[in-house]
Amino acid sequence: MLSTVRLTAWIGAALLSLPAAQITRPPEFQSGGEFQKGAAAPLDGTAHVAVEQARINRELVDRLRALPGNEEGVRLIESRLLTAAAEHFEKRRQLIGLAVTRYLSGGVEQGQRDLLALPRTIELLPFLGEMAGATPELTPAMVQAMRDIAIANPRSAEAQYYLARGLSKLGAPPAELERHLRKAAELDRKDARALLLLGRLLTDQERETDAIAALEDAVRRDPTAAAAHYRLARLYRARGDEAKSRVHLEAYQKLQPRP
């Protein structure tokens, strides 16, 4: 269940004198099996899967809490009373809450289909974005729904961000992903999420200078973006700039939760 999935704590004791592979890695760098979506689905035991699933679950519940009138349903979810939460949302016709509860209960496909049946409003966007990719057969439909929302809301940075995330699951060309991520970063100059994804994309394309620029912008916007600090540490180290690499590695280590 939601409350039993916890963020994995790392001990940030790596030193720059160690080989790069020995530096403690954030989830995005850790290998492991496929994501098992849905709270009732078994995890494969890797830190990457556990942390990513916890993040998705927490994001869904936090977004649900922000919608008016969902406080009681969220309380039931956080009390591990998922059946009662589903009944609560269904009785009150709070259909996003019902979809989220089904997803968290392990009914991943049903939760996704519930979302796809709803009007494509901007409030639906983050739920589509977080759930997209869990069921490959439904991913194209979910991405199309996010595209429709983005077209209807051309000034929404979040729409561009989630659309890029969805398109990446469909194997879209890097240039298309980059266009949406840069637009998201331009539309919201406080949010670092799009820049973090952009940094990863550019690194994968071996565009180190552009990746460093995107990630430096990300940490200016959000100094607590641990994964951005970690990636910058690696990029600067690859360039032979040990001083800058150490600054970002130390920033990353300070951001790790203590055991």
Q: Under a CB-based contact definition with an 8 Å cutoff, are residues 236 and 244 in contact?
A: yes
Task: Kindly indicate whether the domain formed by 189-259 is annotated with CATH number 3.40.50.800.
Answer: no
Q: How far apart are CA 86 and CA 40, in angstroms?
A: 15
What is the 8-class DSSP label of residue 106?
A: T
Q: How confident is the model at residue 247 (pLDDT cuts 50, 70, 90)?
A: very high
* Per-residue pLDDT tens over the stretch 156-186: 999 999 999 999 999 999 999 999 999 999 9
Q: Tens digit of pLDDT for each residue in 202-223?
A: 999 999 999 999 999 999 999 9
| H helices present in the chain, as ranges | 47-66, 71-78, 82-91, 95-104, 108-116, 125-131, 139-152, 157-169, 174-187, 193-204, 208-221, 226-238, 242-254
State pTM to two decimals.
Answer: 0.80
Tell me the percentage of the chain whose pLDDT exceeds 90.
77
